[in-house]
Amino acid sequence: MDKNYETQVFEKQYLESEKYRNMLKSIYDSLEEKGYNPIDQIIGYILSGDPTYITSYNNARSIIQKIERDNLLAELLKSYLK
Query: Quick one: how far is CA 49 from the chain centroid?
Result: 10
Query: pTM above 0.85?
Result: no
Res 20: pLDDT: 85
CA end-to-end distance (rounded Å), the chain: 36
Comparing 72 with 41, the larger pLDDT belongs to 41
pLDDT band at 30, cuts 50/70/90?
very high
CB-CB contact of 53 with 42 (8 Å):
yes
CB-CB contact of 72 with 46 (8 Å):
yes
What single DSSP character describes residue 7?
Answer: P
Res 59: pLDDT: 97
Residues 4-29 have pLDDT tens digits of 778 777 665 544 678 888 999 999 99
pLDDT band at 2, cuts 50/70/90?
low
